[in-house]
Structure 1
Amino acid sequence: MSQCTNGVTVICPGLVGPLPCIPERLPRTPVLDLWLGRGQVSHGERRDPDHAVLEAFGLHSTPDQAPPTGPICLLGDDPSADLGGYWMHADPVHLRPDRDQLLVFAGDDLQPSQEEAQALVEAFNLHFADDHLLLVAPTPGRWYLRVPKDPGLRTVPLHQVQGQPMLAHLPEGPRLSEWMRLMNEVQMLFHAHPVNAVCESRGRPMLNGLWAWGGGRLPAPPVNPPSLLIGDHPLIRGLSRLGGGQQLPASGGTGASILGAGNALVFEDALWRALRDRDLDAWQLGLEALEARCAEIDAQLRGAGLSSIQLDPCDGRCWSMTPSRLRRFWRRGGLRRLLSARAAQVAPLSG
């Protein structure tokens, strides 16, 4: 998907589900319904949201390449970090035995305190100092690992692994056995650490492993990145610092800011997070927030402040809106119909 010129790209994974059922009181979404009904639909491959955000920013990669989100997110979480070298996400996880396999768990419920995170990070760095590995934790739940050189691995993002067997999602590459020896050593180190002894005594899941993914070197900014980025994800903050553009949080009004930008990139990830957490109430709140954002943007489109809008739910389809398409009143459609088409593809959400 190409960038908008004097336009807005809205990336909103999770917008069209899949949900197991449609809530009886689905929030009203008149703007989204209009866009989904009258917009021009283009079809492509389903993409990971990270791929979609980087491509909209102007950093392109092939579908089989893991985008270097590690160093970009670290830039977003800690702009003072030394970003030289090869950086990876290295998020703390709980590995739980289940019959003859290990399941991977992560998320807010497992997030350590800042003191716990720092204690585990310090133990790691002391243990692996001779291997020239460096682990940092700018936030309690998001950690990053610098390795001496590219490990030559194709990794899987943590959000695709949560609750799944570890063996089915191991990295691929000629140095996999060497990498797995390192990860096994990390498991033994963390398992014996006093932080996890306290967790176990209090009935909390132990943080007994790391999930490394999204590695690479910090890329150079593209020639013409979006001048405005909106969202709370560290990837958005990192990209704004990489490209020198303005970054605004997901909350609050943005109409005037969008109108003054040459092009803008919006990443609304609340729906995506709600689906991962299996929280239907949070999904509906995220939908209300997205509708409010789209109403602001729609007003600029109607006022001739924007030339186009791209709506990308990362499911293989993208909706394009222009002022002329707004007038196609005979085109019908809407979010409920799209949700119904994808219903019952996952187990029921809580809510």
Structure 2
Amino acid sequence: MAPTLQHLIVPYAATGVHLPGQDGAAPPLPTLPRLARLLERLAQQEIDRGDEYSLSPPHERVLARALGLPASDGAIPWAAWQAGERQQACAWFTPCHWQASMDQVTLQPPEGLELSEAESRELFEALRPWAEEDGIALQFLSATRWLALGPAFADLPWASLDRVAHRQLDAWLPDGERLPQARALLRLQNEAQMLFYSHRVNDLRSARGLPLVNGFWISGTGAWDGQALPAPQVTDRLRLPALRGDLTSWAKAWEQLEQDEIATLLAAAEGGAEVRLTLCGERSAISWASGLPTKPGALLRLRRLFQRQRPLDLASLLSQL
């Protein structure tokens, strides 16, 4: 029997997120000797090239292929797969805060909203009859995840929540003229904003100084045939600080990642196991694996980056991402 491949996917290994008010200066990055040793043992296998405007970020594309899921941009059926819904088009409805200013609207994801299950259930129940009028069945799974089921989500591309978190929404909302099947959902989003704005949940949240939960985002659209390969390991250590543009916390998360997941994968590689590492940025992803021929010059270029006389230059290593 062939040995089991140990595959680690690292989203936001490089990040280009900068929030308003930042000066764009990145803090000093930590030295990562285990990552250096691991990459010296592996051969570059493939590059998933893209850009920062794709609806599905690189880590979602890589994970979809590893699982054998459809990987059409913005239409990876994450909701159906994660909820175990077979042969039924689904999507995630994620309650969030739409922050309007003079010239733009940005989205705050639920991680920073302190949204309780009771509050979320009240908003869910308020939206459910409106969704049902559009042929959408809603199921409450958690405070931050409502499962939506209906034919409207088949073959409907929609930007990942990771693409829109803390960003201006104009560029990410689908064009109802080009995608007629999106029109009813765009209308439902507008209705939810009006419905939630005057809801008692938000009256109470406002009194406590908490952000209003005044909308929802759609993601993970599509249908799943029930087939999937074993899932690789995906670490979320870098995700939240990257999305928030907190580069200091992002660098510290890299240190922890180096001590834990990278150290584990290095030990496995040094023990003779078949391992694969995929580092993802906001545009592209690069995979390295053991037991593969080394591309001419690739290992030499990496070794030059990892000379022990100086710290690992992570920014240079991940400039392709």
User: Do the two structures share a fold, i.e. TM-score over 0.5?
Assistant: yes
Aligned 1:111-150 pairs, distance under 5 A? 111-150=114-153
TM-score, normalised to structure 2, is: 0.78
Q: Displacement, 1:65? A: 5.0
Cα separation, partners in 2 of 1:151 and 1:16, compared to 1, 3 Å: closer
Percent sequence identity over aligned pairs: 25
Alignment of 1:184-333 (within 5 A): 184-222=190-228, 225-226=229-230, 229=231, 265-291=232-258, 292-304=260-272, 306-314=273-281, 315-322=284-291, 331-333=303-305
In the other structure, the counterpart of 1:45 is 49
1:337 lines up with 2:313 in the alignment = yes
Give TM-score scaled by structure 1 length.
Answer: 0.72
- The answer for the alignment partner of 2:21 in structure 1 is none
Q: 2: CA distance between counterparts of 1:181 and 1:116? A: 23
Contact 2:196/2:213 (CA < 8 Å) preserved in 1?
yes
The residue type paired with residue 70 of structure 1 is A
| Corresponding residue of 2:83 | 74
Cα distance, 1:49–1:323 mapped onto 2, change above 3 Å: closer
CA deviations on 1:175-219 (whole Å, 9 max, x unpaired) are 333332222112111112111121223332211111112211233
Return the offset for 1:40: 2.4
Query: Where does structure 1 lack aligned partners over 5 or more consecutive residues?
Result: 76-81, 230-264, 346-351
The SS at the match of 2:305 is coil
- How has the CA–CA distance of structure 1 residues 95 and 119 changed in structure 2, closer, same or farther, with 3 Å as cutoff? same
Q: CA deviation at 1:323?
A: 9.2
Match of 1:11 among 9, 12, 27: 9
Which residue does 1:105 correspond to in 2? 108
Amino acid at match of 1:336: L
Distance in 1 (alpha carbons) for counterparts of 2:15 and 2:170: 27
Separation of aligned partners in 1, 2:49 and 2:3: 23
Q: Does 1:96 align with 2:111?
A: no
Q: Is the 8 A contact 2:31 2:312 kept in 1?
A: no
1:85-106 superposed Cα distances (whole Å, 9 cap, x missing partner):
3210111121122114322222
- Is 1:312–1:318's contact at 8 Å kept on the other side of the alignment? yes
What's the counterpart of residue 53 of structure 2?
none
Confirm or deny: 8 A CA contact 1:66 1:155 kept in the other structure. Answer: yes
SS in 2 for 1:123: helix
The alpha carbon displacement at 1:158 in A equals 1.4
Between the aligned partners of 1:6 and 1:149, the Cα distance in structure 2 is: 39
Consecutive unaligned residues of structure 2, counting only runs of 5 or more, are 18-23, 51-56
1:120 CA displacement: 0.7
